[in-house]
Amino acid sequence: MSSDLYEAIFRRRDVRAEFTGDPIGDETLERILIAAHAAPSVGNSQPWDFVLVRDEGTRGQFQEHVRSERETFAASLEGERAETFSRIKVEGIMESTLGIVVTYDSERGGPAVLGRHAIADAGLYSSCLAIQNLWLAATAEGLGLGWVSFYREEYLQELLGIPSRIRPVAWLCLGPVTQLQEVPDLERHGWRSKRPLVDAIHLDRYREVSREA
């Protein structure tokens, strides 16, 4: 298993269809969570938590909810977009080995969080940095991970007993996979292709780029 950083960055995929459901070794899972927990955070607040969801009943309920949100999104589309979307799988909740729900607690490290007085969302950003560490570590360990975002935060709070002050940031499906796709799902299925890096780089001032769709 290679844990080269650049290799992990480029091999990493957002997995839906390739989970095998095989178990993950305790030490592997621990390395992945230690990596997530080593992320930077505003004011060293470490505002994240990780809810490991293995319970089949809970996952089944969440999957039902995600299906209904999928339908809500599908109903907003027309023509080619609707047809393309119909071919895209948006979650691997039951097929993956477990779900990891990453949350954000805005009261952690308070009341005065160093670096957050001017930007309230800076704490939320920290939970995202932990997710990317987790994702890269999972990839380096040969596992797949898929971020599910077809859900309402209130639903997930209710389902997992998450207090209302704490926001769920992601449901991550994690587990061994048959393979990681070379081309991301949304490109393979014709949903949206990549933007050239050069378009994203600006020198000293932001320049308006021709507005891509």
Interface residues for its own copies in 81-120 (CB under 8 A)? 81, 85, 88, 90, 103, 107-110, 112, 114-119
Residue 130 to residue 47: CA distance in whole angstroms = 10
Task: Fill in the per-residue mask, 147 to 176: x = in contact with its own copies (CB under 8 A), - = not in contact.
Answer: x-xxxxx------xxxx--x--xx------
CB of 24 to its own copies, least distance (A): 14
Residues 172, 131 contacting (CB under 8 angstroms):
yes
Q: Give the rounded distance of the alpha carbon of 110 from its chain centre.
A: 26
Q: Which stretch binds its own copies (CB under 8 A): 8-16, 20-28, 174-182?
A: 8-16
Task: Decide if residue 205 touches its own copies (CB under 8 A).
Answer: yes
Q: How far is the CB of 178 from its own copies (least distance, A)?
A: 20
Return d(Cα 21, Cα 153) in angstroms, integer. 26
* Min dist. Cβ of residue 55 to its own copies (A): 5
Least distance from its own copies to the Cβ atom of residue 114, Å: 6
Burial class (CB in 10 A: 0-12, 13-18, 19+), 208: exposed
Task: Tell me: does residue 17 bind its own copies (CB under 8 A).
Answer: no
Query: How would you label 136-146 residue by residue, b for 16+ Cβ within 10 Å and e otherwise?
Result: bbbbbbebbbb
Q: How far is Cα 149 from Cα 134, in angstroms, rounded to an integer?
A: 17
Q: Which of 16, 19, 97, 136 binds its own copies (CB under 8 A)?
A: 136
For its own copies, the binding residues in 33-72 under the rule CB under 8 A are 33-35, 37-40, 42-46, 48-55, 58, 69, 72
Q: Which of 18, 171, 166 is nearest to 96 (CA)?
A: 18
Q: Which of 179, 201 has the CB closer to its own copies?
A: 201
Using the rule CB under 8 A, is 23 a contact of its own copies? no
